Amino acid sequence: MGLTSMLHRLAARHAHVLLVETPGHWLTRVAAEHHLLDRGWRLAQSPADADVLAVCGTPGVELATVADRLWQQMPGPRVRIGIESPEQVRHALDIAEADLRDITRQQTDSRVRRGGRGDQTRPDGHPTGGHGPHGDHAKGGDEHAGHAGHAGVAHGDMDMAPAGIPLANRGEDRDGLELDVLHVRLGPVLAYWPAGLVLRCTLSGDVIVDAQASLTDPSHRTPEHDSASRSGRLFAARRCDNAASLLALAGAHDAASGARQVRDILLDPDGAADAPARLARLTRTVRRSWLLRWSLRRLGSLSRSDLVNRDLPDTLEGDAHDRLLGMLDRASRAVAEESSHRATGQPTVPVEAVAELVRGWDLATARLIVASLDLDAAAPAREVSRV
Amino acid sequence: MSDPSVTVVPAFWALGAAGLLGLLASVAAIVDGLLSARAAGAAAGTGWSRPAGEVARLMWQRRRATVAADTLLWRTGGAGLLVMALMIVTVVPLGAWTLFDLDVGVVWFNAMDVLAWAFVWLTGWGANSAHALVGGYRFLAYGLAYELPLMFALVAPAVAASSLNVGTIAAAQQGLWFVTWMPLAFLVFCMGVLAIAMWGPFSAAVAPDVAGGVSAELSGVDRLLFLGGRYALLAAGAAFAVPMFLGGGAGPLLPAWLWVLVKTLALLAALVWLRRRLPVVRPDLFMEIGWVVLLPAVLLQDLLVAGIALARS
C-alpha cells in the first residue's frame, strides 16, 4: 500500500481549513491563518471544501452549535481541532495533519457516521435546502441538527414540502417583479466576515430586501485576548487584516496577500523593521489601481449627516473605496506614531447600523460594504451590551 | 477538407489530444499554485505539488449529497465543463494534424462555449443551496454581457480568411498574424475565455463572498471535475486562440506543432497570471461595459476587417 499512503500524505500536505473565530480571539485566528498558509494549506470557503475544522477560542453555546453543524456538513476525511491561543497554533496544525493521515482513524469516523443516530438516515445529509452552507442553521428547532433545511425557506405556506423543505413564498422585489423569497443567514462563519456577526437576510434573487443583525452569544463574551497590549502596531495589524478582507472580497488577490503579510509582520514581535515601507508600498498599489476604484466607488456612500443620524464614527465617511484607503492610512499613522493614545480610538459601530447599510443591495455589494466598515470584532459587542 | 495543409488523424488520437489538454491544464494549475504560494509567502515546494496534492485530496474526499438536490442535473453540470473543453480542442489543428477538420469549426467553438451557460447554471441550481444558486445567477449575468461580443470577436478572423474552417484561418495568417490588425477582437476573445472558465476578473460566480458560489456544495470527485473543467477550459480557449489570432503553427526554426504548443502555453500562462492582478468585475458593472462599450467596439472591428478583406479581394 505504498502508493496509497503516499497519496494520503500528499493530500494531507494540502489540506483546506475552515476557520471559526470566536469573538475576542482575533489574534488566535490570525496566527492560525498565518501558519496554515505558511505550510501551503489553504483556507476553505465552505464546509464542503474543508478537511480541517479549526475553532479558535472557546465558543459560546450558539457558536458551538454552528460549529457542530459545520462539522456534520464536512465530507470527510475530516479533523476537528480547537485552538485556545496563538502559541498553540503550530502544535494544533501538526496534530491535524497527523490525524488526517491516520487512515484507521478516518475509517472509524466514517463508520460511526454511517451508523448514525436517529435523525441521520442519510450518511451525508446536510441542512442546505434553500439556505447557505454557513452557520445559517441555528434557527428553528435545534433538535433537527444535521437534518433538512427547515430554516431556509419562508414558513407559512406548508402545502408542498419536498424532502421536508417548505417551498419559498413569493414577494415583490425592488423592481416590482414577483420572485421567490429566501431567508438566508450570513455569518457567523463565512470567509472574510467579522467574527460573531450574524445577518438574517431576506433575499429576492440576490437582492437583500430586509436584514436583521445580531451577535452570537451576546452574554458569552470573553474579554479581548489582546486588550492588555493595545499598541500602535496591533491597531495597525487589525486595520491591515480588515483591508485584506475587503481586498480579497473585491478579488484583488495579490493586494490581499500583501496586506496579510504586512499584518503578520506587524504582529511578530521581532518582525522586520520594514513594515512601514511595505505598508506604504501596499497603499500606493491600492491607490493606483483604477479597476479597484471603479469596482468599489459609490458603494455604501455615507455623507457626514448620514453618519450623525446613524450614530456612526466619522472615519466611515465616503464610499467603500474611501474607507479602504482610510484603513490603510490609519494603519500607517499608527505604525509611525507607535503610541497607544490613537490606537485605543477605534470607535464602535452599532450592530443595527450594519443591517441598515446593506438593505437594498445585492449580496456581493453587501459583503463589500460590511467589510469596508472596518469592524473590530469586539466593537459591536460593547455596543449591544449597552442597549 | 477544404485545406490540403491539414491532415485528419485517426480517431484514436483523441486520447492523445485529451492527454495533451490534461497536461496543459496541469501546467496552468502549477503556474497558479506557484504564483499564489509566492504571494502568500509559503514555501515554493508547496506551489509545485499543489495540483497533485489537490487531486489526491479530492480523490480521497467523500462525495457529498445535499438535501433534495437535483442530483442528475447537478452532476451533469459539474462534469460538463471538462467535456466542453475536450470538444473544443477537437477542432484545433496541432500544426498539420487535426482530429476533426470541420468546415464550420468556428461555429463549433461557439456552440460549445454556449454550453457553459447550461452547465454552470445547472451546477448552481442542482445543489439546492442559496449560495450556489446566487453563483449561477451571477454567471448568467456575465453570460448576457460577454456572449455577443465574443461571437462578433470570432467573426473577425473568419471574415478575414473568408472561411469558418479553423485550419484555413490559421493558413491565412502566414504573412501577418490576425492579432496585429484585429487586436480588439483578440482581447474580447480572451475575455470570453476567462469568463467561460470563471477565472480572475470573471470569478464572481465562484467568489468567496458567497462561500464559493456555484462550487459551494461540491466535494470530492465532483469538485475535482469542476475545478479540472475550469482549468481545461482555460487551456482549450488558449489553444483555440492560436489558430484564430496567433498564426497557428507559423514561426521560425521549430516545427509547426511545437509552435502551436509554445504559443498556447504562453497565452495560458498570461491568462493564469492575470487572475492575481485584476480585481473581480461585478456582473452588474460588466453588463454596462459589455453592451455599451465592448459590443459596439467589436462591431466596428468587424466592419474594419470586412472593409480590408473586400479591398484585398
| Per-residue pLDDT tens digits for B285-302 | 899 899 999 999 999 999
Do the beta carbons of residue A15 and residue A51 sit within 8 Å?
yes
d(CA B266, CA A125): 44
How many CB atoms are located within 10 Å of the residue A181 CB? 19
pLDDT, average across residues A315-337: 86
Give the residue from B202, B210, B284 with the most A CB atoms within 10 Å of its CB, the best one to mutate.
B210
How would you write B95-140 as a 3-class SS string?
Answer: CCEECCCCCCHHHHHHHHHHHHHHHHHHHHHHCCCHHHHHHHHHHH
| Spans of all domains in chain A | 2-115, 150-155+162-387
Grid coordinates representing A369 are 460594504
Asked if residue B137 has pLDDT above 50, the reply is yes
Using the 8-state DSSP alphabet, how is residue A129 labeled? T
pLDDT of B206-233, one tens digit each? 988 888 888 888 888 999 999 999 999 9
3-state secondary structure at position A55: strand
State the DSSP code for A223.
P
Torsion of CA A105, A107, A111, A116, to 10 degrees: 60
Contact A7 B278 (CB under 8 A): no
> Which residues of chain A are within 8 Å of residue B217 when distances are taken between CB atoms?
46, 48, 128, 133
Lowest mean pLDDT among A111-115, A382-386, B52-56: A382-386
Q: How far apart are CA A210 and CA A202, in angstroms?
A: 5
Helix axes A232-249, A363-372, angle to 10 degrees: 170
Closest CB to B208 among A39, A48, A248: A248
Please indicate whether residue B23 or residue B41 has the higher confidence score (pLDDT): B23
User: CB of B129 within 8 A of CB of A184?
Assistant: no
Min mean pLDDT across B26-30, B181-185, B255-259 is at B255-259
Instruction: Write the ipTM.
Output: 0.87
Cα dihedral sign, B218-B222-B223-B227: negative
The answer to whether the beta carbons of residues A238 and A194 sit under 8 Å apart is: no
Rounded to whole angstroms, how far apart are CA atoms B154 and B19? 26
Question: What is the spatial order of strands in the sheet that A52-56 belongs to?
Answer: A42-43, A16-21, A52-56, A79-83
Mean pLDDT of A306-315: 79
Q: Which of A10, A133, A289 sits opposite B131 (nearest CB)?
A: A133
A125 touches chain B (CB under 8 A): yes
Q: Do A75 and B63 touch (CB under 8 A)?
A: yes
Q: Over pLDDT 90: what percentage of chain A? A: 16
Which helix (DSSP H) or strand (DSSP E) does residue B40 occupy? helix B13-40
Does residue B1 lie in a domain region?
Answer: no
Chain A residues with beta carbon closer than 8 angstroms to that of B65: 122, 124-125
| CB within 8 Å of chain B, chain A residues 177-216 | 182, 184, 190-192, 203, 205-206
Q: Are B7 and B94 in contact (CB under 8 A)?
A: no
Whether the per-residue pLDDT at B85 is higher than 70: the answer is yes
- Structure-block grid coordinates of residue A228: 492588555
Report how many domains make up chain B. 1
B62 neighbourhood in chain A, CB within 8 Å: 75-77, 110, 124
Query: Per the domain annotation, does B93 fall within a domain?
Result: yes
Q: What pLDDT is attached to residue A136? A: 39
Q: What distance in Å separates residue B114's CA from the closest CA in chain A?
A: 23
Q: Do B278 and A291 touch (CB under 8 A)?
A: yes
Q: pLDDT at position A157, please?
A: 42
Is this model's pTM higher than 0.95 or not? no
Which among B131, B220, B285 has CB closest to A132? B131
Class of domain A150-155+162-387: mainly alpha
Look at A64-73, A212-221, B218-227 and tell me which has the smallest mean pLDDT: A212-221
Rounded to a whole number of angstroms, the distance from the CA of A183 to the nearest CA of chain B is 9
pLDDT more than 70, % of chain A: 77
Residue B2 belongs to some domain of the structure: no
Choose among B115, B105, B194: nearest CA to B157: B105
Strand pairing class (A169-172; A178-186): antiparallel
Range among A73-82, A169-178, B30-39 with highest mean pLDDT value: A73-82
SS3 of A171, please? Answer: strand
Contacts of B279 in chain A (CB under 8 A): 250-252, 289, 291-292, 295
Fold of A2-115: Rossmann fold (3.40.50)
Host domain of residue B254: 7-312
Sequence-ordered alpha helix ranges (H) in chain A: 2-12, 26-38, 61-73, 89-101, 103-115, 232-249, 253-267, 275-288, 290-296, 304-310, 320-337, 340-343, 351-358, 363-372, 379-386
pLDDT at A338: 63
